[in-house]
Structure 1
């Protein structure tokens, strides 16, 4: 197959995402009082409601409704005051009652938007020809298709539902996702959000003996209903994404928002956040949509990017060879780096959706919505801008710090009263040393025992050139293991650097006398030899000399 960059020169990818997020910070399930935990023994947190036994009646979780409203407000959605739950019927062991309780055409949150910034190598995935008036034309066509679909869906629905869906026409045409390209090659593109709806998660299936955990070839299948009934929100984007990198960045941004709201742990490894990708392709300049395929249960950012990239290239190869794309659900096999057919895609009719007679329609009050709005924390984009303005740190570091609320709070405490180079030193330690240690130790920030004062002390030692960056790594490891103050570790190990010019100049003179050949090479234009000479100075000083100062003194002596 062709490479992605080559394919995207001739073909335009049209991508939409369905992102499922469990509300793991709640204590109970969506419609019953069962404990919300996946770590307990299988099938111990179940009851007649989540098992769908006859006569059991569901009761909605109020805190789950608060969580989805906050998610909608944080993603610029319109909160629908009136909505209802439906029954989505299918037959599979992961839902004992043979239907999933979910929302219908009108969800709690409708018609939102997130602005996506794409930089660096990621920006190069979208070719230069993808910018300009043609993208507006293609998006207008997609919006017209969505408008027609909205009107079809609205027919025969209750008045509140048809009215909300009819509003999609203005939404789709007023906010087209046209990318704005910047001088440095990066670009910003608005990604529209169709809806965020509430539903219950299914039970966990474990297929024993099959390839990569799939049912095909499995000797037996096990079911754990502990997960069944877990509150789950599903965010559905418009088909505004044009590259796999945009899809990856969108999901990363959404994860940062949900972590900041503290509505989920967003663990893709544990399955509490997962993604389905819908993708089709069309020739550049065309406005009609191609036949889409769905990639199911992409459980990492890499799987999302690589799965979409493969599928785009596969579809291009099929069409260029005169073949046909079928609407189907496919599975991404990371070990083989390919997608395979799972099943032919069901239509809405196959699910026999109808309003759940056991659950009354919801009427959210203005007071409820405004209380949720008042409880919103500072969101990642706003926090990133503040970190840049107040601390003067690099944008990339500010974004990484702002993406996790605990890490952001840790940094603010460690960098309190600092700005510029001093604050950037703290940011470097948190983004690099602290993050690497936590990942290696397999612990969270709260369990690490490391406190902001220790990082601030280590940053001060670096700022004063009391230790080198290499020594800082050693001190950080010792600090994390022992809990001691960095200054005490440095003094106990005799690591404090000498930065007295009067003490270091004799060492420089001695090294230059002993390394006359290398000194002459430098004078002849070989700049790289300065590294060797600095190393000799450090050896002569038994590692106590300031390497930066040695570098400066050597260059001055050799000039």
Structure 2
């Protein structure tokens, strides 16, 4: 099988995502008053409504509707004032009533957009040939038609990975092929078809099966505690072109939802899950290929690797003269392959129709504006503010801004600081903090570390009172003990000497003793300066500031 970069030179991947996010920060389920918790004993948080018993009537969770409107506003969607719930019928033990309550053709949030910034190795995944007029034409055609769906299916089925015909509402100018910048990076707009509300199904555990699948399992267990959990599903248009773009999109969406406070977005626990739809076509071809849907993409790595494998698999089949079937496939991370699960269901199989037990929704302007007023500062806005007001590096700002808990810690630590000191705080939060928490097996809330300690250590580092290696030692000591960094530095005799009057005699002694190396520097061998700095540090018993030694040595050698 060819490597991904080789395949993408000849083939264009057309990728759409369906991202399911449970609204875990709510207290109750979507249509009943049962407690929202997956950690309790199985089947203890259930009632006639979520078990689908005869005569039980659902009542919508108002707070859940606020959450999905906020999600739509935060992703630049148009909030639909008029929508309704439908019944999606299927017969499987994870939904006792044999249908799932979801939304129909019109969702609460429609036609949004997020812009992705792709840099570094991720940008290299999109080949140079993907930046041209032919790609612009094929992208426009992808928006105009469906991926092998009939008009009735496109009208009725609300979850086809962005492949819906007849639903317009987009500015076609947003479809322009991204332009690669000099450093290789690029920005690409990814359109969002819809965000709709539905209820989650029960949790099934297949005991004895391979890779947690029902095939070959000795028995299957069902926990209905999860059944009825409010869940929002975001469906993208097929605008993604590489596995890395898909991974970055989901990471960005996770940061937004965390900032909104609507979910813990834990992929490990399954509160945020993703299905990927992918098809191939020859570069420059406007026709869309047959897509497959990938399941079990329960991590960012699984999302990237599963899509990458499927792209390469489809290319191998097509280049051998074979045919791609519209089917659902399962990603097996241990074997790094996808396997066929079932032929993709159609809208007719689900028998969609409006739920007679739930009245249509009419959202008022006041309700929508109330949700808008409650929006917090979103990650991109926070990142830009850090860069603009504090002067810290964009990459560090983005990493900090993406985690609300870390951002709050950082802002308290950086209060009143700017420039070099603010950047030093960012360095500690981005590098030292997560390394310590991982090593200690803690989360930030469990640590004794305080923001003022980090600020104090940053000031010591920024003023060159201690070296970066010493800073690492001090960070670990204060994180473990809760002691003040100044006290730790003084107790361990770490404070560096930077006074030129105290260091100059050491420099003069080293240059006299190492006359041969000094002459090598004067003859053009600047690498020998590191040796001379080391000799100065040794002579000062590591108490001297190496940066200051460097400056004094250069001044003496170049005089």
Q: Tell me the TM-score normalized by structure 2.
A: 0.94
- Does the C-alpha gap of structure 1 residues 538 and 218 become closer, same or farther in structure 2, counting only changes over 3 Å? farther
Question: Within 5 Å, which residues of 2 pair with 1:259-298?
Answer: 259-298=258-297
Q: Report the CA distance between 1:318 and its aligned residue.
A: 0.8
Shift of 1:542: 2.7
Q: CA deviation at 1:556?
A: 3.7
CA distance in 1, matches of 2:88, 2:189: 31
Q: In the alignment, what sits opposite 2:485?
A: 486
- Distance in 1 of aligned mates of 2:118 and 2:347: 34
Aligned partners of 1:441 and 1:84: how far apart in 2? 48
Q: Does 1:108 align with 2:139?
A: no
Q: Quick one: distance in 1 between partners of 2:35 and 2:116? A: 37
- Further displaced range: 292-301 or 210-219: 210-219
Match of 2:45 in 1: 45
Per the alignment, residue 422 of structure 1 pairs with: 421
Name the counterpart of 2:125.
125
Distance 2:554 2:381 in 1: 45
Cα distance in structure 2, aligned partners of 1:340 and 1:153 = 26
Task: Give the direction of change, closer, same or farther, for the CA distance of 1:537–1:370 in structure 2 (3 Å limit).
Answer: same
1:31 is aligned to 31
Query: 126-135 vs 188-197, which deviates more?
Result: 126-135
Change (3 A) 1:386 1:415: same
Q: Is the alpha carbon distance of 1:410 and 1:462 closer, same or farther for their aligned partners in structure 2, counting shifts above 3 Å?
A: same
**Which position in structure 2 is the counterpart of 1:451?**
450
* Secondary structure of residue in 2 paired with 1:181: coil
Contact 2:19–2:275 (CA under 8 A) maintained in structure 1: yes
Asked if structure 2 preserves the Cα contact closer than 8 Å seen for 1:147 and 1:172, the reply is no
Conserved 8 A contact 1:147-1:168: no
Q: Measure, in 2, the Cα distance between the counterparts of 1:251 and 1:49.
A: 32
- Structure 1 stretch displaced more, 374-383 or 213-222: 213-222
- Helix, strand or coil: the match of 1:34? coil
Q: Is the 8 A contact 2:147 2:288 kept in 1?
A: no
The whole-number CA distance in structure 1 between the counterparts of 2:486 and 2:330 is 54
- The aligned counterpart of 1:192 is 191
Query: Matched residues in 2 for 1:496 and 1:38: separation?
Result: 51
1:160 alignment counterpart: none
Superposed displacement of residue 254, structure 1: 0.6
Deviation (angstroms), 1:4:
1.1
Contact 1:111 1:168 in 2 (8 A): no
Q: 1:177 to 1:238 in 2, by over 3 A?
A: farther
Between the aligned partners of 2:156 and 2:237, the Cα distance in structure 1 is 24
Contact 1:177 1:240 in 2 (8 A): no
Q: 1:522 to 1:209 in 2, by over 3 A?
A: farther
Verify the 8 A CA contact 2:497 2:543 in the aligned structure 1. Answer: yes
CA distance in 1: counterparts of 2:176 and 2:257, whole angstroms: 23
Larger mean CA deviation between 232-241 and 265-274 belongs to 265-274
Residue 183 of structure 1 deviates from its aligned partner by 3.2
Residue in 2 that maps onto 1:530: 529
Please name the residue that 1:217 is paired with: 216
Q: Give a deviation string over 1:4-25, Cα, whole Å, max 9, x none.
A: 1111111100000000111111
What secondary structure, in the 3-state scheme, does the structure 2 residue paired with 1:171 have? Answer: coil
Q: Tell me the matched-pair count.
A: 552
Distance apart, 1:168 and its partner CA: 2.6
Map Cα deviations across residues 63-90 of structure 1 (whole Å, 9 max, x no partner): 1000000000111111111111111111
1:460 aligns with 459
Aligned partner of 1:13 in structure 2 is 13
- Larger displacement relative to structure 2 (549-558 or 142-151): 142-151
Distance 2:496 2:155 in 1: 77
Q: Which range moves more in the overlay, 408-417 or 459-468?
A: 408-417
Give the match for residue 234 of structure 1.
233
Describe how 1:324-343 pairs up with structure 2 within 5 A.
324-343=323-342
Where does 1:58-69 land on structure 2 (aligned, <5 Å)?
58-69=58-69
What do residues 114-157 of structure 1 show as CA deviations (whole Å, max 9, x unaligned)?
A: 11111122111111221232223112212221499696458799
Q: Tell me the alpha carbon deviations over residues 317-370 of structure 1, each in whole angstroms, 9 at most, x when there is no partner.
A: 111111111111111122222111122211121111111121111111111011
Indicate if the aligned counterparts of 1:150 and 1:168 stay in contact, CA closer than 8 A: no
CA deviations over 1:156-186 (Å, ceiling 9, x no partner)? 99xxxxxxx9983342746425323333322
- 1:321 is aligned to 320
Please state how far the C-alpha of 1:40 moved relative to its aligned partner.
Answer: 1.4
Residue deviations 1:439-484, cap 9 Å, x none? 3333332222322211111111011111111111111111111111
CA spacing shift, 1:174–1:551, aligned 2, 3 Å: closer
Query: Mean Cα displacement is larger for which, 292-301 or 528-537?
Result: 528-537
Give the match's secondary structure for 2:87: strand
RMSD: 2.2
| Counterpart contact for 2:20–2:231, Cα < 8 Å | yes
Normalised TM-score (structure 1): 0.94
Q: Distance in 1 between matches of 2:408 and 2:486?
A: 23
Query: Post-superposition shift, 1:540?
Result: 3.2
1:491 CA drift (Å) = 1.0
Secondary structure in structure 2 of the residue aligned to 1:169: coil
Kept after mapping to 2: 8 A contact 1:244/1:309:
yes
SS in 2 for 1:180: coil
**Structure 2: 5+ residue runs without aligned partners?**
158-163
**Deviation larger for 179-188 or 2-11:** 179-188
Separation (CA, whole Å) in 1 of partners of 2:3 and 2:154: 42
Describe how 1:67-216 pairs up with structure 2 within 5 A: 67-146=67-146, 152=152, 168-171=167-170, 173=172, 175-176=174-175, 178-216=177-215
Larger displacement relative to structure 2 (353-362 or 439-448):
439-448
Q: How big is the shift at 1:272?
A: 0.9
Q: Which residue matches 2:347?
A: 348
Question: Structure 1 residues 317-326 or 181-190, which shifts more?
Answer: 181-190
| Partner Cα distance (1:104, 1:470) in 2 | 59
CA–CA separation in structure 2 for the residues paired with 1:245 and 1:154: 28
Aligned residues of 1:117 and 1:187 also touching (Cα < 8 A): yes
Residue deviations 1:287-344 (CA, integer Å, cap 9, x gap): 1100101111311111111111111111111111111111111111222221111222
Maintained 8 Å contact 2:135/2:283 = no
3-state SS of 1:384 partner: helix
Is the 8 Å Cα contact of residues 43 and 225 (structure 1) preserved in structure 2? Answer: yes
What displacement does 1:402 show? 1.4
